[in-house]
Amino acid sequence: MNKQIKPLPILQGKTAFAINLISQVSVIVAQMVISLFLTPIVLDKMGAEAYGFVGLVNNFVSYVAVITTALNSLAGRYITIAHHSGDQESAESYYSSVFFANCVMAVAVLAGSVLLAANIESVVSVSPGLVEDLQLMILLAFFNCALSLVVVVFGIAAFIKNQLYLNSIAQLVSSVIRAMLLCILFLTVAPHMWYYSAAAVVASVAFLALQIWTTRRIAPEYRVKATCFSIQRVLEILKSGLWVSIESINKLLLTGLDLWISNLFVGAYQMGILSVAKTIPNALLSVSNSLSSLFYPKCAELYAKKKTDELVKQFGFAMRFTAAVMIVPLAGFVAYGLHFYELWLPGRDVSELLLIQRLSVLTVVSLLASALVEPLYYANTLTNKIKGSVLITLGFSLLVFAIELSLLLFTELEGLFVIASVSSVVMTFRHCFVQPVYAAHVLGLRGSSFYKPLGKEAVGLFVVLATFAILSKALPFSSWACFLISCLISAAIGYTELSLLLLDREERRKAFGMLLVRRR
């Protein structure tokens, strides 16, 4: 006799959003702690080259996403819209079809990893002593990628029910497991690069178990069934997702190839320096993406129910909210980054720290522009009208690639600054001048609809930057305690400025209300 599964309570409204936000932030904080604690250890024990390969292998895995994203980027959209439209049969068919298609891709990923590991010396410049370590890291990293493909559909249940905090809790548990394993390995035994991938595999197994457990309790109607598999469903998603894959190629050309290009054109050590410089900006990028994603389930629901006016308001508020939260940490990193690196990487040469800070600022510039418009990118996926956006961005991507190669091959400009700056400039233009117009277009609005809030956000950004520039001269940063206190003071001032500049009284009330967890 089967034991009855006790369902989890379904949270709604402001309570759901607040818990989603707290859970997402907890995951990000856990991941940042891993980077903050382990990066100096790895640099000291293994050197910049080895640390650079950790980031490079992660980039190799992201190249695989160019293929897999065609299916998985839109899987949640198709399942969610079918679910909220009352077409449960189609929703379950999409669910099972995506799972089995991902299993096939997982096998292909594993086969490809073996070929890459066997021929890695012809792909990158690597010191002989690191070859075997790098090969093992590649095999484990791609095994983790294959495992992640299997997990995808089990995370969709929380999206459908707008209970993203359950996914975040699972991510938090897996992040803690990964952090514990990495700390134990690096602090107790001889250091190796493959520890990163091995710990990720163990964490992914835990994440998979928690995702399955969650799905069975909040959406028991969704089960993987071979009888529900439909190749037509897979092809339907792939047809729409083809453009998302091309968009992934755009991202590779803009930023995803930077470590590989650095390795080939500048050197393995310089690649490691660039990898260090991108560590914190990449973590901040995940914050922006996570904040924006909290609004997507509601946007998908409103779109499925054809509530256009409410959908437009939801996008507008998501844009304001994300910018209000993200401007402070990004601007703070620009203003206080050098102080942070002096504390985080003690003993490093001053010139090296200045180089890392300058590269970081170049990376953060495009993230600042992205933070102002990040929610608008979901309009492309939601309306399934991404072709024009992808083609425009592809043009920019090819331009960036051509400019970078030309400058690296035919000029004497510093290679690292070429790699970091060219893509940053182009991406900033993409965020500020292309996406607002295209998002308005696909939503059926005037092309200038989003420029008024974008202008207010830009004013808020410059005010906060100016404030932090003044505070950087007045506040103490000589120790971690002083640094943290100074950051808290700056954050309080910055968020006060942004709440007054970006949000009206009603929006401030709404924003604060969403951040509060209330008992029902």
Cβ atoms 303, 81 nearer than 8 A: yes
Residue 390 has pLDDT above 90, yes or no: no
pLDDT of residue 16: 60
Residue 493 has pLDDT above 90, yes or no: yes
* pTM score, whole prediction: 0.69
Distance, in Å, from the CA atom of 296 to the CA atom of 381, rounded to the nearest integer, reads: 10
Residue 257 has pLDDT above 80, yes or no: no
pLDDT tens digits, 284-337:
777 777 777 777 877 878 877 878 778 778 887 888 888 888 899 999 989 999
Q: State the average pLDDT over residues 38-53.
A: 81
Least confident range of 164-173, 231-240, 324-333, 496-505: 164-173
pLDDT of residue 380: 79
CB atoms within 10 A of CB 306: 9
Q: State the average pLDDT over residues 480-485.
A: 94
Give the count of alpha carbons within 13 A of 340, CB side only. Answer: 22
b vs e for 145-182, b when ≥16 Cβ sit within 10 Å of the residue's Cβ? bbbbbbbbbbbbbbbbbbbbbbbbbbbbbbbbbbbebb
What DSSP element (H or E) covers 322? helix 308-344
What DSSP element (H or E) covers 483? helix 480-502
pLDDT tens digits, 206-219:
988 988 888 888 87
pLDDT of residue 491: 94
281 burial (CB, 10 Å; 0-12 / 13-18 / 19+) is buried
Residue 518 has pLDDT above 50, yes or no: no
> What is the chain's percent helix, strand, coil content, to nearest 5?
85, 0, 15
b vs e for 410-425, b when ≥16 Cβ sit within 10 Å of the residue's Cβ? eeeeebbebbbbbbbe
Q: State the average pLDDT over residues 227-232.
A: 87
pLDDT of residue 515: 57
pLDDT of residue 2: 45
Closest CA to 18 of 174, 212, 168: 168
Per-residue tokens: 232: 């037509």
User: Using 50, 70 and 90 to split pLDDT, how confident is the model at 469?
Assistant: very high
Longest dimension (CA), the chain: 75
| Residue 8 vs residue 492, higher pLDDT | 492
With a pLDDT cut of 70, the percent of the chain lying above it is 92
pLDDT tens digits, 6-43:
555 555 555 666 666 676 677 777 777 777 777 887 78
pLDDT of residue 519: 43
CB atoms within 10 A of CB 390: 20
CB atoms within 10 A of CB 62: 16
Cβ atoms 297, 80 nearer than 8 A: yes
Domain ranges of the chain: 12-255, 257-515
Q: Which of 58-72, 75-89, 457-471 reaches the highest mean pLDDT?
A: 457-471
* Mean pLDDT, all residues of the chain: 82
pLDDT of residue 392: 78
- Give the three-state DSSP class for 281: helix
pLDDT of residue 9: 55
Residue 195 has pLDDT above 60, yes or no: yes
pLDDT of residue 37: 79
pLDDT of residue 462: 92
Which residue type does 191 have? P
Q: Would you give the distance in Å from CA 124 to the centre of its chain?
A: 25
Q: State the average pLDDT over residues 194-223.
A: 87
Residue 198 has pLDDT above 90, yes or no: yes
